[in-house]
């Protein structure tokens, strides 16, 4: 069994410009690539699980989403993601793969033999926290992008840890503070 960290993409790893479809607009948060490399060196496997409703809404294509992900992977080297998965559906489509539902994470857990009890989910939204909880991971909410808004909007939201930035979240994982 392996340890893993699941990440939301927009607003967690990279700046959230809303319906990102242009690879040149991918900008990692300060210290994020180095933080992920440190996780990987510590033995964690890295995955991105993202809702990309812009596809289902007709704003961009799956190919454009994959092009953005390819650019993200280039910018995060030497860290390497084992796999990037996303839900392409609009919220009103009633699919079974949209976070906070755990389907995509459970598929990754089965495919890679992930020990979910010793793994983490990091994101900036309520759906990310709930996804991690549904998977049986420890959930971390970062205050970047939507994090502060979601903490105020959903006072019952209870992640296992709240971090100001992604590097702070990673530091807490590596220091076993969570």
The encoded tokens of residue 15 equal: 């700046």
| DSSP SS3 for 25 | helix
* Rounded Cα gap, residues 158 and 176, in angstroms: 19
Active-site hit among 10, 82, 124, 128 = 10
Q: Is 115 a catalytic residue?
A: no
Choice among 8, 82, 115, 160 that is catalytic: 8
**Residue 10 annotated as catalytic:** yes
In angstroms, the CA 138 to CA 140 distance is 7
Q: In terms of residues, how long is the chain?
A: 178
Nearest to 39 by CA among 110, 120, 139, 144: 120
Residues involved in catalysis:
8, 10
């Amino acid at each position: 069994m392996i340890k893993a960290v699941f990440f939301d993409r927009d607003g967690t790893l990279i700046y959230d410009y809303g319906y990102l479809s242009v690879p040149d607009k991918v900008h990692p948060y300060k210290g994020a690539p180095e933080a992920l490399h440190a996780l990987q060196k510590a033995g964690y496997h890295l995955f991105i699980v993202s809702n990309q409703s812009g596809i289902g809404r007709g704003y961009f294509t799956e190919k454009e989403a994959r092009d953005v992900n390819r650019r993200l992977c280039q910018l995060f080297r030497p860290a390497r993601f084992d796999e990037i998965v996303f839900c392409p559906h609009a919220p009103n489509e009633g699919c079974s793969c949209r976070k906070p539902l755990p389907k995509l994470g459970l598929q990754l857990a089965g495919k890679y033999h992930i020990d979910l009890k010793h793994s983490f989910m990091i994101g900036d939204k309520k759906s990310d926290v709930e996804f991690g909880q549904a998977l049986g991971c420890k959930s971390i909410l970062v205050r970047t992008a939507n994090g502060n808004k979601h903490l105020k909007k959903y006072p019952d939201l209870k992640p296992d840890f709240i971090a100001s930035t992604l590097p702070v979240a990673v530091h807490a994982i590596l220091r076993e503070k969570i």
